[in-house]
Structure formats: C-alpha cells, structure tokens
C-alpha cells in the first residue's frame, strides 16, 4: 500500500513522457446481437442468452471480465473473476455466464470499473451497488474488506452517473452534487487531504455551491463540469491531466482557468489524459501524450488544455477509457475518428474510419479492447414496417401522387400522407380540388424543405443543415406539426455556431419556439463578444436586437 503521492506503478511515469513508441442524437446505429462476436469471450455465451443481451460492459487490463444485462433484467458475468469482480459470491473464474442474483430485476443502466478491480453499478432508480477489491475502501462500504456480491451504497440522493478511477469512485446525483470515496493518496477524493475515504463523501470545496452535470475519472484523477460549462479537476497531476498549468497534485477541486471562456458539455478521461467537448463542437485535450492520445499531431504532454483534432469539424461526441491510451470522436456528419495507441501503434493525428459508433473503435483498436461505456445492444429484425415505409418514399413505381416544389417532383403516397398529416387529411377531402389530382404543387417553401418534410412523414427523421431547418420550422408551424417542430428545434440546437446563432435566435422568436429561443439566447450569451461582432448579428432587425440586449441586461451581461 502506498501512502505518498508518488505515481502508482500503473500510472504513466513522468520520466517516460517523451519516450518513443511503436505504435456520440445523430448516431442511429446500435450494436446488433451478431456484433457481440467481436469480443472473443462473448462467443462463449450460448445463443439463447446472447439473443437477449441489452447492455454489455467489458473491462480489466486483459479485457477478460464481462458483465451484461438481458431484456428480462437479469445480470450475468463471466471471466477471470479477479478479486470477486464478477459479483457472484466467490473468486472462481468462469467461461460460462453466471447470474449475479443480487442484481436480479434491478434494471441496471450503467456500469463502471476500476483497475483493482472494483465494480460500480447504477440502477434505473438511481441506486448504486459496489463489489470487488476494497483494500483502499473503493467500495464505499465503510471498511477495507472485500465484498464478493453487489451491495447498495447510501448516498441519500438519486444518482444519475458513476465513474471509477484506479482505486476510487465518483458519483453524480440528480441534485448536481458529487460524492467520492476510496484511495486518496494524490487527492483524487477531493477532500483536501490524502487520507483514504471509506464511505461516500460529498465533494464540497470549490464546487459545493455549483450544480455539476458531468463527471469523469482518470487513473488517480477526477474531473467535473458545472451547468454553466466550467471544468474542475483534482487528484494526481504528474502528466498534466488536471490541466491547471503545472504538474502539481490537487487535493481540492481546481477550476481549469484555460477553459474560462469555453462552455464544456462533455468530459472523458483516458489512462493519463483528458478530453473536453465544448457546446460549439470544439475539442480540447491535455495530459499525457506519449502515444499521440491528444490528437494534436505530436507526442508532447500538455499541462493546459489545447484545441485538438481540429480537422474533424464540429464534434458531437468524444470517447476515452481509463484503461487505455486511445481516443475517439464523432463529428456532426457522423464520421468516426480515432487516435492515440491503436493496436499498439502510436497515431498522433486523428484517423478517419468506416465505423458507425465510437464503441467500434474500442473493441477493434483499444489496448485492451474494453468498452468505453456500457454498450447498448439491439436486435436486427427482418424488414420492418418502418423500413418498408422508408423505402417507399420517393418511389415512382408505387406512388400515386406527385408533389412539386421549385419545379422538382417528389413521388409520394396519398394514403400515407393522410395517415401521417392532418393538413393532408383535410386537403384530400372531396370538396378540395387536390383530392382528385395526381399532382400537387407547394409554393412558398424550397425544394429541400418540402423534400425533408415529406421524408419525415415516412421516416420520422431529419437530414438537413440547421439553416434549412429554419424553413422547415416555418412549415411545421404552418401545418401544426408539433412533433416535427420539436425535431427541428433539436436539429438547430445541435448545429448552432457563433456564426449562425443570431439567425437561429431570430427564427426561434418568429416561430414562437420558446425553448429554442432560450437555448439560442444562452448560446449567444456564452459567446457574446464573437456573436455581437458577427455580420449576422448586425443584420438582425432592430426589434430582435433590442430584445437580445434587454434580455442580456437582465442576466447581468453588462455589469462591471
């Protein structure tokens, strides 16, 4: 047992930093049952059980431990069972799935694990269970004795997220509070000392009055994001993974000053590096970089956040695992990139893949091939009604109606339009001229807007840039399509930038989309300097500009 803050053996040594090496709602894809074969150990699960798998978590330094849940809310485990981490009541290894009876019917929604190993699981009701090794009190049960079966922890609040470091645990409650316990030799518990913590303790210093929305753990470090996008870090800092500008450990949360003008919405931690995603899709990284895991084109460590992976464009999701030196991200176009240690090779510049999800990066290229988060699994059905309707859209061979916009024809089906849309249901009544026509022209809206609207009637999905979504928002408002209006608002939120935010703000006001208006306003407020100097802001009507300035003043934007 180590009592000092010298880096544990499984932390990347500072002396080796420059040592050469040989070395995200746009994601519609879900892993299918057949994809589970990508992990060799899961090929040992009999087909009947494998067909029911709902959530999978692969962990340990050899990717030799697996916990999965099924659709009937049973929980299974298989693997080497180091320190009883399978939660089955003993330390006997097994290549056959064994049920974790203590979790039967508990509706597990999240799982995390430390290197010890110890395991933390979260139920749908917000209850936390822990089991496994406990030498450093990482189970939070008030002792240092191991526990071979899952037992609930007393947090007194509903937990919504969990994270594990090497030998410490972190949870986030629905009230925005962070609780921590376990090994604390480098201050990773955030208690202001280096004493281990045997039961859940709220992290109060610096963040106690703030609402936290995201947490992450590195090996012996911890990170948290507040609801206004500030990032705080604490714990071991030998590789700069705290991002505070030095290599000094922090026993209390410390705000990352270099991100002061950045609104962060997601953080992840690798073995000894950290990544943060801002609300405008910019990616930042800091910490260890000997494998190129920061994605900045070199292998130099960074003690303060730097913008990385700039070639990806707008990023919507980022991934890393404390078990590896690998990084991955997905951009607004759905493209998946990876970098860092990939199959024991160093990749300092993000590499474009043909993958559909970030999960595929970690099963195929991470060392070890662990899951960076519990993996949701879906079944691959035969051609469904939904898929058949999607295939029928704009199919001239089966259509009985042509919609014309900007002189271009879209082939549709009168019955489907009547079923899906009240506007068309009224249009095709006998007293309307259109009811007997085989061609209907739509004026006042562009072809991309009309096409996207009709395709939405068939598929319930939207594929168009945020700027075009403004026209579709107008159409949805006119046709009284509340569901489409909400989807347009989400699409606009996901695609907002400094450049287009004034236009989107004005559109939200025009179409009475109050939630979207608030979102766009807050984004503009977060980036006030850049927004008010943009051409699009200068082109706003006086009424909209006056409205923005008034609301900003109410929020204290102009106080000295």
The enclosing domain of 414 has a CATH number of 3.30.710.10
Q: Both tokens of residue 121? A: 């699981």
Q: CA 495 from chain center: how many Å? A: 16
Check if the beta carbon of residue 475 is closer than 8 Å to that of residue 423.
no
- Please report whether residue 545 resides in a domain: yes
Confidence (pLDDT) at 64 = 82
Q: Say whether both 466 and 558 belong to one domain.
A: yes
Q: How confident is the model at residue 217 (pLDDT cuts 50, 70, 90)?
A: very high
Q: Are residues 366 and 431 in the same domain?
A: no
- Do 522 and 558 sit in the same domain of this protein? yes
Q: How many domains does one find in the chain?
A: 3
The pLDDT of residue 265 is 95
Domain boundary among 337, 363, 378: 378
d(CA 402, CA 144): 72
pLDDT digits (tens, 9 = 90+) for 430-449: 667 666 788 999 998 899 99
Is residue 45 in a domain? no
Q: What pLDDT shows up at residue 317?
A: 96
**Last residue within a domain, chosen from 347, 378, 409:** 378
Average pLDDT over the chain reads 89
Alpha-carbon distances of 8 from 3, 4, 220, rounded to whole Å: 10, 9, 9
Against a cut of 0.85, is the pTM above it? Answer: no
- End-to-end CA separation in angstroms for the chain: 52
Q: What is the pLDDT of residue 79?
A: 92
- Give domain status of residue 396, yes or no: yes
Confidence of residue 383 (pLDDT cuts 50, 70, 90): low
Angle 326-327-330 from CA coordinates, rounded to 5°:
145
Same domain flag for 332 and 397: no
Whether 499 and 534 map to the same domain: the answer is yes
Task: Dump pLDDT digits (tens) for 72-112.
Answer: 999 999 999 989 999 999 999 999 999 999 999 999 999 99
Do residue 433 and residue 473 come from a single domain?
no
Q: Which domain holds residue 476?
A: 462-560
The residue among 73, 149, 158, 155 whose CA lies nearest residue 118 is: 149
pLDDT tens digits, 171-206: 999 999 999 999 999 999 999 999 999 999 999 999
Q: Is residue 280 part of a domain?
A: yes
In a domain, 336, yes or no: yes
Nearest CA to 151 out of 170, 127, 115, 167 is that of 127
> Count H helices, E strands: the chain?
13, 29
Query: Do 363 and 419 have their domain in common?
Result: no
User: Same domain, yes or no, for 481 and 558?
Assistant: yes
Backbone angles phi, psi at 512, to 5 degrees: 55, 40
Query: Measuring CA to CA, which residue among 31, 50, 11 is closest to residue 325?
Result: 11
Question: Which own/partner pairs from 514-517 qualify as long-range (CB within 8 Å, at least 24 positions apart)?
Answer: 515/489, 516/489, 516/492
Within-domain flag for 60: no
Q: How far is the C-alpha of 79 from the C-alpha of 73, rounded, in Å? A: 20
Alpha-carbon torsion 432, 436, 441, 442, what sign? positive
Q: Is residue 374 domain-shared with residue 269, that is, in the same domain?
A: yes
| Residue 351 in domain | yes
Domain boundary residue, one of 320, 350, 378: 378
Q: Is 60 exceeded by the pLDDT of residue 289?
A: yes
Rounded CA-CA distance 274/16 in Å is 18
Q: How far apart, in whole angstroms, are the C-alpha atoms of residue 17 and residue 21?
A: 10
Query: Residue 386: inside a domain, yes or no?
Result: yes
Select the highest-mean-pLDDT range: 282-286, 511-515, 518-522: 282-286
One domain for residues 484 and 527: yes
Residues contacting 481, CB < 8 A, separation 6+: 421, 423, 475
Considering the domain architecture, whether residues 280 and 371 belong to the same structural domain is answered as: yes
What is the spatial distance between Cα 76 and Cα 323, in angstroms, rounded to a whole number? 22
Over 70: is that where the pLDDT of 470 sits? yes
Tokens of 353: 């893949």
Residues 368 and 388 in one domain: no
For 94, residues 6+ apart whose C-beta sits below 8 A from its C-beta are: 77, 78, 79, 81, 86, 88
């Amino acid at each position: 047992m180590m009592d000092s803050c010298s880096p544990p053996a499984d932390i990347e040594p500072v002396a080796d930093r420059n040592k050469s090496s040989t070395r995200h709602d746009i994601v519609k894809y879900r892993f299918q049952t057949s994809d589970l074969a990508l992990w060799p150990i899961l090929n040992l699960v009999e087909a009947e059980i494998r067909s029911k798998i709902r959530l999978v978590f692969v962990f340990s330094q050899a990717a030799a431990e697996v916990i999965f849940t099924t659709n009937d809310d049973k929980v299974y485990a298989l693997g080497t069972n180091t320190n009883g981490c399978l939660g089955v009541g003993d330390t006997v290894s097994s290549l056959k799935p064994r049920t974790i009876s203590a979790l039967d019917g508990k509706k597990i929604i999240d799982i995390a694990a430390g290197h010890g190993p110890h395991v933390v699981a979260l139920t749908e009701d917000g209850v936390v269970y822990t089991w496994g090794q406990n030498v450093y009190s990482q189970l939070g049960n008030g002792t240092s004795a191991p526990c071979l079966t899952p037992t609930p922890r007393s947090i007194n609040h509903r937990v919504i997220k969990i994270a594990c470091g090497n030998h410490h645990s972190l949870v986030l409650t629905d009230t925005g509070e962070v609780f921590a316990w376990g090994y604390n030799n480098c201050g990773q518990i955030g208690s202001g000392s280096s004493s281990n913590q045997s039961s859940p303790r709220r992290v109060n210093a610096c963040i106690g009055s703030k609402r936290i929305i995201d947490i992450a753990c590195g090996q012996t470090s911890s990170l948290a994001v507040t609801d206004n996008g500030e990032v705080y870090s604490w714990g071991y800092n030998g590789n700069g993974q705290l991002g505070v500008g030095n290599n000094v450990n922090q026993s209390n949360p410390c705000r990352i000053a270099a991100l002061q003008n950045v609104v962060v919405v997601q953080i992840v931690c690798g073995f000894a590096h950290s990544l943060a995603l801002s609300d405008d899709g910019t990616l930042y990284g800091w910490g260890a970089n000997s494998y190129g895991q920061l994605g900045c084109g070199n292998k130099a460590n960074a003690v303060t956040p730097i913008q990385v992976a700039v070639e990806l464009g707008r990023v919507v999701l980022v991934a890393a695992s404390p078990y590896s030196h690998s990084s991955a991200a997905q951009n607004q176009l759905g493209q998946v990139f990876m970098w860092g240690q990939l199959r024991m090779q160093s990749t300092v510049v993000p590499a474009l893949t043909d993958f559909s999800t970030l999960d595929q990066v970690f099963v195929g290229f991470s060392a070890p091939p662990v899951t960076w988060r519990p993996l949701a699994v879906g079944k691959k059905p035969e051609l469904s009604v939904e898929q058949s309707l999607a295939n029928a859209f704009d199919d001239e061979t089966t259509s009985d109606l042509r919609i014309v916009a900007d002189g271009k024809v879209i082939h549709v089906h009168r019955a489907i339009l009547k079923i899906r849309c009240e506007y068309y249901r009224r249009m095709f009544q006998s007293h309307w001229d259109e009811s007997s026509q085989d061609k209907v022209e739509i004026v006042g809206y562009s072809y991309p807007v009309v096409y996207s609207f009709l395709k939405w009637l068939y598929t319930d999905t939207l594929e168009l840039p945020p700027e075009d979504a403004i026209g579709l928002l107008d159409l949805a408002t006119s046709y009284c399509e509340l569901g489409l209006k909400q989807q347009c608002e989400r699409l606009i939120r996901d695609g907002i930038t400094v450049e287009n935010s004034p236009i989107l703000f004005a559109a939200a006001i025009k179409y009475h989309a109050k939630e979207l208006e608030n979102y766009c306003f807050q984004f503009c407020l977060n980036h006030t300097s850049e927004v008010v100097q943009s051409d699009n802001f200068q082109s706003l009507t006086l009424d909209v500009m006056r409205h923005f300035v008034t609301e900003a003043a109410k929020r204290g934007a102009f106080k000295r």
